A and B are shown apart, each in its own frame.
Chain A
Amino acid sequence: EPEVTQTPSHQVTQMGQEVILRCVPISNHLYFYWYRQILGQKVEFLVSFYNNEISEKSEIFDDQFSVERPDGSNFTLKIRSTKLEDSAMYFCASSLSGGYSGTQYFGPGTRLTVL
């Protein structure tokens, strides 16, 4: 069964550094998402992406964040200048259709630790 994959599984970085988290969505899916979960807190929506543009973003997704689909398979989340509070588990998800009719399939997550 096809799955969403994410690399790396764990990323450690210094505050102020740029990080890129990578995701390979399920191949025929058209909608892509990033969520994050700070330790002990709920999973929070960051951004959704469709047709090569952001379709929805949360208040968390400020100018420090960007997303890109650089080729036909990868979907990346970039954090330009990491802060301590960016430490979290970041989940990528993809779906065949959008809105609540589309089931979102999640990747295993990347644990980001900012020192």
Chain B
Amino acid sequence: AQRVTQPEKLLSVFKGAPVELKCNYSYSGSPELFWYVQYSRQRLQLLLRHISRESIKGFTADLNKGETSFHLKKPFAQEEDSAMYYCALSGSRDDKIIFGKGTRLHILP
């Protein structure tokens, strides 16, 4: 079954502390993994994707095929990072994106 699991509904982190948002996936084949972010009152937007191996706004994510994980990390949280974060995947021939339920990240001052 194709599935994305984000175990935390809410994560509260103090400003300046490291952030790790967990994501595990289930997919038969080699999917592309994404992180989408939705800031308050804004649209869903792509934060980063595995294939591009970029660091966006200080966030990185490493694909661990053995553990089928794609955790999102940032060494020092900033208040503007408060948002809803969705882990997602897509198959190589698929058009659809399969989303996790999302984790609300709340950065405490």
B94 is an interface residue with CB less than 8 A from chain A: yes
Residues of B within 8 A of A109 (CB): 43
B65 is an interface residue with CB less than 8 A from chain A: no
Could you count the A-B residue pairs with CB atoms below 8 Å apart for me: how many are there?
56
Most chain B CB within 10 A, of A41, A100, A109, is at: A100
Known A-B contacts A100-B31, A106-B44, A108-B43; A33 and B95 likewise in contact (beta carbons under 8 Å): yes
Per-residue CB contact flags for chain A residues 1-45 toward chain B (1 = under 8 Å, else 0) read: 001100000000000000000000000000101010000011111
Q: How many residues of A contact B (CB 8 A)?
A: 27
Residues of A within 8 A of B94 (CB): 56, 99-100
Q: How many residues of B contact A (CB 8 A)?
A: 23
Q: Are A91 and B93 in contact (CB under 8 A)?
A: no
Q: Are A45 and B92 in contact (CB under 8 A)?
A: no
Residues of A within 8 A of B98 (CB): 45
- 6 contacts across the A-B interface (CB closer than 8 A): A33-B96, A42-B86, A42-B101, A44-B99, A99-B94, A107-B43
